[in-house]
Structure 1
Amino acid sequence: MAYVAPKEFVTKMIDAGEAKVFMSTKDTLVRAFMAGAILALAAAFAVTINVETGQPLAGAILFPVGFCLLYLLGFDLLTGVFTLVPLALIDKRPGVTLRGVLRNWALVFIGNFAGAFMVAVMMAIIFTFGFSEAPNVVGQKIGTIGEGRTVGYAAHGAAGMLTLFIRGVLCNWMVSTGVVAAMMSTSVSGKVIGMWMPIMLFFYMGFEHSIVNMFLFPSGLMLGGNFSIMDYLFWNEIPTVVGNLVGGITFVGLTLYSTHYRTGAKRSAAAARTMPAAAPVPAE
């Protein structure tokens, strides 16, 4: 499946980050909007599978279809640009500035939210027959997800906030690994296999993904979830965004960049030969 060596795909990561900094406002927003919408549809799909089969693993196995589609179509998630775009700044690519990085993040956030919110409204209409009756079982489930992952964290205070943050970190460790995995192969099948595995892991483990939550929580509010907009922002979205940023850039972007692109100086063979031998272990 035409595997691409780490040094080559890390170069692709930096190039991609640079291209996103200079992308037009229109293209950035359109690509982010579509990414948020497709991922939201995948989340609705996975929750429906979980409710109707009673098997959370089934939803986790099939959820990555949305992620794979949006990246094959060249759309952008906030979690991905958190990892890729800073590398162009760290690598001192000409014209790449901190302001350009922040601009990209802000535009992608807005586009992702708009796309996910549009799908949230559409799915709320479906789950309630145009708000003419109570939510169906899938709609009720989405409402309870919103409660458990907002006021559920709040009930634990600082420990809940720490747990939420760590779940955000672990989420984008996996999601950004999926983004990078798409660059590990030059074939569609190779890209899909590489992306599928870490995305399935994050979804089944219940880690916190800021864009998935842009769908789950607004739709939960529309479907009768017992939490507020402030609960959503303070006890989920904002800490999740921060955790996603830390997880993506720390455990994926910087680690790959530092060891495959800015590699350390190699030890010389002569130096290795002159190292003292380990002391023999005395016999019993």
Structure 2
Amino acid sequence: MTYVIPSEFAKKMIDAGEAKVFMSTKDTLIRSYMAGAILALAAAFAVTVTVNTGNPLLGALLFPAGFCMLYLLGFDLLTGVFTLVPLALIDKRRGVTVRGMLRNWGLVFCGNFGGAFTVALFMAIIVTFGWSEAPNEIGKTIGHIGEGRTLGYAEHGAGGMLTLFVRAVMCNWMVSTGVVAAMMSTSVSGKIMAMWMPIMIFFYMGFEHSIVNMFLFPAGLLLGGEFTIMDYMIWNEIPTVLGNLVGGLSFVGVMIYATHHKTSPELSREVASEVRAVPAE
């Protein structure tokens, strides 16, 4: 049997969060840098597929390949540590503190951004032949994504900010479900199958992922997108990070912890019989 029951993978989630708190600075930065780079490559791949085929669904179907690769290689995304690390704090694991959690989050953020920006720079060089000519269709598409998902939100004011935040919440609801789903199986094929579904959903639905955006928006700026760094930070990255935190922790981490790790006592047989005997109104 390769399936891991919920009570067992709930403990694995807490153990994983605890391990990340005590990971060395070097290892945390390397693993988060590589995660950011691989996810950015997957995003570039999905955009390329969409532009070349005119079919966004095909891009979304193939994007999870990058997520699966980085997970199986043991690399870390900010969206994942948002969900896992707080569980070790909630479970009162020895030595796990708020300071340690924030240290992990800060290092992973920096590593993810470094990896994503590296790919953004490389892609900008590729689609312009080293800035010797105008961006090709893929480059233009990346630039327009940045415009639509900054200035597009800004045009709607508070409503746009609310929409951005909710999309970020729903994004990490799905992405963290993918992280947890990989713990449901002990086989590589099982892990990939479980991860693929929620990641495909988030990408096709256009939800906001802070690390994917660390690639798309810097690349858009490098390729002449008509928005500014402040537009990117205020009307995308900062609200997206906060929404990703809320979505992953609230709808995935805490929910699984509350029902599968801190399970409430079952009803006694007598009480259960009385409940079933009450006639419906």
Q: What range describes the TM-score normalised by the shorter chain of this pair?
A: over 0.9
In structure 2, runs of 5+ residues without a counterpart are none
Partner SS for 2:225: coil
Q: 1:69 corresponds to which residue?
A: 69
Q: Could you list the per-position Cα deviations for residues 163-207 of structure 1 after superposition, in whole angstroms to 9, with x for gaps in the alignment?
A: 000000000000000000110000000000000000000000000
Q: 2:246 corresponds to which residue?
A: 246
**C-alpha distance in 2, partners of 1:159/1:35?**
32
* 1:1-284 alignment runs, 5 A limit: 2-275=2-275, 277-279=277-279
In structure 1, runs of 5+ residues without a counterpart are none
Q: Report the Cα offset of residue 208 of structure 1.
A: 0.1
The runs of at least 4 consecutive aligned structure 1 residues that moved more than 6 Å come to none
- CA 67–272 in structure 1, closer or farther in 2 if over 3 Å, else same: same
**C-alpha distance in 2, partners of 1:224/1:145?**
12
**C-alpha distance in 2, partners of 1:191/1:276?**
39
* Counterpart code for 1:47: V
Q: So what's the TM-score if we normalise by structure 2?
A: 0.98
* Counterpart code for 2:127: F
- CA 273–240 in structure 1, closer or farther in 2 if over 3 Å, else same: same
> Considering only CA atoms, is the larger Rg found in Structure 1 or Structure 2?
1
Q: Report the Cα offset of residue 274 of structure 1.
A: 3.8
**C-alpha distance in 2, partners of 1:127/1:274?**
69
**C-alpha distance in 2, partners of 1:66/1:280?**
51
- CA 280–122 in structure 1, closer or farther in 2 if over 3 Å, else same: closer
Q: How many residues align?
A: 281
**C-alpha distance in 2, partners of 1:192/1:274?**
44
Q: Report the Cα offset of residue 280 of structure 1.
A: 7.3
* Counterpart code for 1:163: T
* Counterpart code for 2:231: D
**C-alpha distance in 2, partners of 1:239/1:275?**
45
Partner SS for 1:17: helix
Partner SS for 1:127: helix
**C-alpha distance in 2, partners of 1:188/1:65?**
13
For the aligned residue pairs, the C-alpha RMSD in angstroms reads 1.1
* Counterpart code for 1:134: A
Identity over aligned pairs, percent: 74
Partner SS for 2:221: helix
- CA 280–262 in structure 1, closer or farther in 2 if over 3 Å, else same: closer
**C-alpha distance in 1, partners of 2:172/2:183?**
17
Q: Report the Cα offset of residue 275 of structure 1.
A: 4.4
**C-alpha distance in 2, partners of 1:44/1:66?**
10
**C-alpha distance in 1, partners of 2:135/2:273?**
72
- CA 266–221 in structure 1, closer or farther in 2 if over 3 Å, else same: same
* Counterpart code for 2:218: P
